[in-house]
Amino acid sequence: MSTTSPKKRIALVGTGGRSGMYSHTIYKDFADSTELVAVCDISRVRMAQRLKELRAETGYEGEIPMYHSDDFDQMLDDVKPDEVMVCTMDCTHDDYIVRALRAGYPVSTEKPMTTAVDKCDRILKAVEESGKPLRVTFNYRWMPPNSKVRELIASGVIGTVRHVAMTYALDTSHGADYFRRWHSEKEKSGGLLVHKSTHHFDLVNWWCDAIPERVYASGGLVFYGKENALKRGDDQYTGYDRYTGTDSEHDPFRLDLSENKYSKGMYLDAEEETGYLRDRNVFREGIDIEDSMSVIVNYRNGMTLSYSLNAYSPIEGCRTVFYGDRGRIEWAHFGGSHLILGQSEEELAAMQEANKGVEELTVTPHFKTTEHLEVPHGKGGHGGGDIKILEQIMMPEPPEDPLNCSAGHEQGAASVMIGIAANQSMKTGQAVQISDLLPGFAEGKMSMSELS
Ligand SMILES: NC(=O)c1ccc[n+]([C@@H]2O[C@H](COP(=O)([O-])OP(=O)(O)OC[C@H]3O[C@@H](n4cnc5c(N)ncnc54)[C@H](O)[C@@H]3O)[C@@H](O)[C@H]2O)c1
């Protein structure tokens, strides 16, 4: 991709697992149009490892300055980026988003936009007051089958959607991994209804062009955690707080950070500096997020979503059924995890091929036979969604976005507020109005397409 316009200059904050998708792709696919002008993190070890890998994978030899997170504002002053990419732990997104916007820089943030009401409010105010844009990188929208579902619903083939039933299952590889990491602490991730379900809630909001209003949820920790393991008689998996360097070879949930060059450099070698352990026992005490959750969401336009998330399933996937007033669409895909620590692109592609499993997209208009549609596929991370969103971020003149896959701060809030309200509902046992948590949010608006 070559261009004569000046390169887009990106500064990246958060240099952990996800950040490689941004930094490496710049020098693999967008080097003519984009450059990485600085990286920032709490961990110097992780920043150095990220840049080492970037060089090894892409052959890039230039210098990229590293800034400790204490010097984030200094970094902005020094490098004056065209855009700041936020890829840190979820509960810290708001801090970097707000500081960058208020300093006058456009921002893209990883999902979830944030984890709590007060943080969401700060972000919305910072966008309004700074006049600078915030993009939320909902890569799931860009996956070809999800885009196809959006097209189908917008075509009116099943009329107006009144009811959506979505069941999402995370397996004992991908799902379990959340319970080893910072994600297992609600204060840091918001729990899975914020961290993970923000993708799913966003898809439903966007697919059906609807704004959520009232949320009821119920959930608990019923599989992971020491108490559950002991209750089941799985005592043999509970005798160590982490996996690496402990007597846990018999444990199918074991993750040994020293076995893999990537996880050793990125996490094990950084432990002394930050104290963060990435391989904690999923059957330990102190996990305060849920692994089994059910949520009902009522939308402003009268639509209802019934949603469930399970994080200890033997197979991973999702089934979504849309009931319109003129028919039904079903989109189901089940197979293996799409994501395993340290996996190469070749391994990912091979696993995606082997684990195709169930894949079904059907449309049944009222009083007609069911049509089985071909499921479109993309290449690379997240079923081809990653590269498409990267084009939007990296290219000075990105491709057209006819399905409005790009999302701003209000659409980011619409999704994350479902999870935040669900957390409150699980605590109190009561349904929660999003407008009570965030008064004035999207006032007078009825559809997602009216939100930025
Ligand atoms: N869109 C997707 O499909 C997708 C996939 C994976 C991760 N993510 C998101 O990417 C983000 C990063 O996740 P990850 O998997 O890379 O996690 P990670 O733990 O591997 O990396 C997080 C990084 O943030 C850094 N960090 C933590 N606190 C910080 C702070 N206060 N200031 C600066 N840096 C800080 C850590 O040192 C680490 O390098 C998360 O928000 C996650 O939700 C999105």
Q: For the domain covering 8-136, report its CATH number.
A: 3.40.50.720
C-alpha–C-alpha distance, residues 346 and 339, integer Å: 12
Q: Show the DSSP H helices in 16-116 as ranges.
A: 19-29, 44-58, 72-79, 93-102
C-alpha–C-alpha distance, residues 289 and 40, integer Å: 28
Q: Looking at the predicted structure, is the pLDDT value of residue 100 above 80?
A: yes
Q: Looking at the predicted structure, is the pLDDT value of residue 4 above 70?
A: no
Q: Helix, strand, coil % (nearest 5) of the chain?
A: 40, 20, 40
Mean pLDDT of the chain: 94
Which residue puts its alpha carbon closest to atom 34 of ligand 1? Answer: 41
Q: Looking at the predicted structure, is the pLDDT value of residue 425 above 60?
A: yes
Please report which confidence band the pLDDT of residue 380 belongs to, taking 50, 70 and 90 as the band edges.
confident
Q: How does DSSP classify residue 140?
A: G
Summarize the confidence of residues 233-259 as an average pLDDT: 96
The SS3 call for residue 350 is helix
Q: Ligand 1: distance of its center to the CA of 183 in Å?
A: 10
Summarize the confidence of residues 288-309 as an average pLDDT: 98
C-alpha–C-alpha distance, residues 422 and 444, integer Å: 23
**Which burial class, exposed, middle or buried, applies to 371 when counting CB atoms under 10 A from its CB (0-12, 13-18, 19+)?**
exposed
Q: What kind of fold does domain 139-224+287-380+406-450 have according to CATH?
A: Dihydrodipicolinate Reductase; domain 2 (3.30.360)
Summarize the confidence of residues 228-251 as an average pLDDT: 97
90, 108, 143, 429 from 206: Cα distances, Å? 22, 19, 13, 28
Which residue puts its alpha carbon closest to atom 41 of ligand 1? Answer: 90
Q: Give the sign of the dihedral formed by CA 10, CA 16, CA 22, CA 26.
A: positive
- What residues are in contact with ligand 1 under a 6 Å CB criterion? 13-19, 41-43, 46, 69, 87-90, 92, 110-111, 137, 139, 195, 382
Q: Ligand 1: distance of its center to the CA of 367 in Å?
A: 48
Residues 321-346 have pLDDT tens digits of: 999 999 999 999 987 665 555 566 77
To the nearest 10°, the Cα dihedral for 183, 186, 188, 193?
Answer: 70
Q: Ligand 1: distance of its center to the CA of 16 in Å?
A: 6
| pLDDT the model gives residue 355 | 64
Q: Ligand 1: distance of its center to the CA of 93 in Å?
A: 9
Question: pLDDT > 90: what percent of the chain?
Answer: 88
Please report which confidence band the pLDDT of residue 315 belongs to, taking 50, 70 and 90 as the band edges.
confident
167, 174, 386, 421 from 181: Cα distances, Å? 24, 12, 23, 23
| pLDDT the model gives residue 165 | 98
Q: Are both 8-136 and 139-224+287-380+406-450 of the same fold? A: no
- What are the structural domain ranges in the chain? 8-136, 139-224+287-380+406-450, 226-274
| pLDDT the model gives residue 348 | 67
| pLDDT the model gives residue 396 | 79
Q: Looking at the predicted structure, is the pLDDT value of residue 363 above 50?
A: yes
Q: Looking at the predicted structure, is the pLDDT value of residue 158 above 50?
A: yes
Please report which confidence band the pLDDT of residue 381 belongs to, taking 50, 70 and 90 as the band edges.
confident
Residue among 44, 23, 83, 175 at smallest CA distance from 393: 83
| pLDDT the model gives residue 2 | 44
C-alpha–C-alpha distance, residues 263 and 342, integer Å: 7
| pLDDT the model gives residue 5 | 65
Q: What is the pTM of this model?
A: 0.95
